[in-house]
Amino acid sequence: MNKKWYFPLLAVGLLTLASLACNFPFVPSPTPFGFPTPDLTMTAIFNPTVTSRPVIFPTQTIPPAWASPTFTQLGQLPSPVPTDTPLPPTATATKTPTPTRSYAGPGMRPKFSMVGVYFDAPPRIDASLEDWNLDRYRIEQVVYGKSDHSGPDDLSGRAMVGWDEDNLYLGIRVIDNKYVQNTSGSNLFKGDSLEILLDTDVSSDYYLGELNGDDFQLGISPGSPAPKVEPEVYLWFPSSIAGGQDQVDIAARSRGDGYIVEAEIPWSVFDVNPSTGQHFGFAFSISDNDNPNQNIQQSMVSYVPIRTLSDPTTWGDLTLVKP
């Protein structure tokens, strides 16, 4: 047999036998052989089977509610929670205080000075003036009622001033051609009488042209035997302590051309502790009434020609000296 046909015939015979064998009951069915799919390479067909490990996906952990972050939308700020914010205190307008004007100045008035001389032994208050050996100051400058003043014989006087630690002393010789005093108390100036103005603190209110608590106005009445008016002393100012001053010792007597008065005035009346060299604002004056039928102040003469009751800057000076 030709060899070129041997192998094909053999292959056909084998296939025929295999086909018959499948139909015999005593021949078991062969396990089918699965040809690899055509899309695998030859290497992949004969490679050993690799068992793939399972892919483990991480389990998502859900955070607790309290840990959840709050997402803020871009461009939008969280709404602020309103709180009670205290309002700032309302500004109170503060009034700028007006600067206080100072009236302080020198401790002595520059003009019309009288000297009070220290008494080693106080004079007797008996209206004699025999134990007074002091300078006498002329009281004759008309400061009120010039039209009712006819000259020195109508009204004038001489005054002396002394002092010690307890009292201020006055000795006055008054020239008055007609003596009239029918009043008392706060009206005693409407009859023949004396007046003392005393500023106890000149330096603190040197430029103050009005009365205040350290300024005193004191009147002295010689009294009158005819209408039975007793000698007396009255304080007009300060008005808070106005009234009669019974602690003042006075003596008076008449003369043919006028009268004499002595007075011992405690420093306590003026709330003063005196000392050598001390200065006071001071003015001594005399009032006159020549009309017995009318209580009126007709005129006044003073040692200080510019004396004005309500303006202490017009008063003179009293200086206490001790020889």
- 167 or 84, higher pLDDT: 167
Tell whether the model's pLDDT for residue 214 goes beyond 70: yes
Tell whether the model's pLDDT for residue 18 goes beyond 60: no
pLDDT value for 109: 93
Lowest mean pLDDT among 101-115, 243-257, 282-296: 101-115
pLDDT averaged over every residue in the chain: 82
119 — pLDDT class (breaks 50, 70, 90): very high
- 266 or 34, higher pLDDT: 266
Q: What percent of the chain lies above the pLDDT cut of 90?
A: 64
pLDDT value for 102: 85
Neighbour-count burial of 118, counting CB atoms closer than 10 A to its CB (0-12 exposed, 13-18 middle, 19+ buried): middle
pLDDT value for 32: 47
Tell whether the model's pLDDT for residue 108 goes beyond 80: yes
- The C-alpha atoms of residue 317 and residue 7 are separated, in whole angstroms, by 174
C-alpha distances (whole Å) from 298 to each of 115, 143, 146, 189 are: 29, 11, 9, 10
CA nearest 303: which of 104, 160, 146? 160
- The C-alpha atoms of residue 43 and residue 204 are separated, in whole angstroms, by 130
- The C-alpha atoms of residue 235 and residue 217 are separated, in whole angstroms, by 6
- The C-alpha atoms of residue 44 and residue 60 are separated, in whole angstroms, by 37
Q: What is the largest CA-CA distance in the chain?
A: 214
Reduced to 3 states (helix: H, G, I; strand: E, B; else coil), residue 243 is strand
Q: With contact defined as beta carbons under 8 Å apart, do 265 and 248 qualify?
A: yes
Lowest mean pLDDT among 31-35, 42-46, 110-114, 221-225: 42-46
* Most confident of the following: 25-39, 77-91, 110-124: 110-124
- The C-alpha atoms of residue 236 and residue 309 are separated, in whole angstroms, by 11
Predicted TM-score (pTM) of the model is 0.70
3-state helix, strand, coil in the chain (%, to 5): 15, 30, 55
pLDDT value for 47: 47
- The C-alpha atoms of residue 162 and residue 149 are separated, in whole angstroms, by 29
229 — pLDDT class (breaks 50, 70, 90): confident
pLDDT tens digit sequence for 69-90: 454 454 455 555 555 556 556 5
Tell whether the model's pLDDT for residue 57 goes beyond 50: no
